[in-house]
Structure 1
Amino acid sequence: MYGNRQLAYAPTPYIPRSTLSATINLDEEVKLSTTSAERDLYDSLAEIYSIVITLDALEKAYLKDSISEGDYTETCSRLLKQYKSNLANETVAREFGDLETFKREWDMECPRATERLRVGIPATVEQGPSHKPSQQGDSGTDATLVVNATENFITLLDAIRIGLVEKDTLHPLLVEIIQAANKVTDKEFESKGKIVQWLITLNQMRAAEKLTDDQAREFQFDMEQAYYGFKGTLKKD
C-alpha cells in the first residue's frame, strides 16, 4: 500500500569517512586563558578565593583555641596583606567587583572571613590579647607602653590637623593606636569602639581616597574623645 508512495524529502545517505577526526582531545588540558595577562588575572582571582577559604578556617581555629594567639595574629595579618595586595591591581579589582559579589559567583559561605576582611585587622588587634597587659609591680602599667600609646594618639591627631586625611596615612596610624592601647590596658575606655568603627570605614576606602571635610572633623572629634578616655582609664588604674 505504501510501497510506491514518494517521500516528501530526499534523505541524505550516510557515507562514513575515514578522514573525520575529533576536534577536541579529551585528554588535553583545557586552557582558561590564551594570554599571559588573562593567566595572571585568573591566578590572582584563584589566590583571592584560597585566601578567603583559608581565612575562614583560621578564624574558626582561633575561636576554638586550636591555634595560639601569636600564630593566629601572624597568619591573619599575612592573609589580609595578600588579599589587599591582589586587589591593588585595577584589572583584578574590576573583575573581582566586591566580596559579596565574588562569594555569590563562586557559591562561597565564609561568614567569619567576611567579617575579618570587613574589619581589616586580626581579632587579637581589634579586641586585644586575652592575657593581661604587662604590669610592673605596684607602680602600675609599664610607663614605656603608656608613652608609646600616647605618642601614637598625638601623631594621629597632628596628622588630621595638618590635613593628612588619606586612607593610606590614617589607617596604619589607627592600627598602631589600637595595638598600643591594648598593650597598656584590657579595659574598655570611652570611645574605644569608635577606633574600631573608623578602622572599618578606612578599610573600605581605596589607598589614595581621602576623608571628606565633614568626615575629617568627625574623625578628629572621635579620636580626641578616645584619647581622653584612654588617659582616664590610666588614672583609674
Structure 2
Amino acid sequence: MSDVPPIPSPTALRAAADRLVSALAAHADPEYRLTVLKRLARRLGEEQYPVFLRLLGVVAESDDVRAKRLLADTLATALRRMDLPGGALSSWGATRLPDTVTPFAASALTGQFFGATPRRLLGPVEYLTVWHLQRTQRTPLGAEVFRDALAGLIELLNHSDDARTLYPQKLAADAENELEGAYTRATRERLAAVAAAWKAGESPQAVAQAALDAVPEQAPGGWVVRDL
C-alpha cells in the first residue's frame, strides 16, 4: 500500500488555510466559492487529499468563527449540489462481473476487474471513515486520530445549518446502499451511527465516538496505523 505524502509544516498549513479563507471571502457567490474549494482539492491531487482534510482541520481548530461559517456554508453548497470535493480510495468489492450473455474477450479481465484499483470519490467524512476502517491503498488511520479528525470536521460543519442538516441525510442514504460496493457492512454501520448521532444533535465528540462504538475495531492484528 502506498502511504500519504509528507504533510506540510504547521506554518505552511496555516498559511494555506488563510489563503483559502481569503479566497472564499473575496467572492459573494456561493457557487464560485465552491469552485474555489474544488479547484484546491483538484490541484492537490488524489494522493494529497489528506492535506485538503488537514486544511479543513486547521480552520476547524481556529478561533475564527467567520472563517468556519464561510467554509461550512461552502460545503453546504456542495451538499445541495451533491458535489462534495472528494478524494479517491480503493473501493472494497467494487468489481462487477462481465455480462455473461454477450461474449467477452480475455482482455476484459483486467486488474480492475479483479479488484486491484477500483475507486470512487468520497467526501471528507466518508473518506475518513473508509480510510480508518477498510483496506485501501493507504496505511489505515488509528482509532484516536480518526475520532479526533472526525469530531473536528463535524464541529466545522455545524457552523452551517444546512450542512448540519444535509450531511447526516447523505450519510444515512449512503449507509443504506448495499449495492454500490464502495463500503463494507462495517463501514455502512459506522456511517449510519454518525448520521443518527449527528441528527440527534449530539456533540461532535459524541458523534465521533458513536462511529467507533458502532462496530468493534476492524483492523487485524499487526496492521500499522498512521496519523493524519
Assess same fold via TM > 0.5. no
RCO higher in structure (CA 8 A, sep ≥6): 2
**Greater share of helix residues, 1 or 2?**
1
Which protein shows a greater Rg? 1
TM normalised by structure 1 equals: 0.30
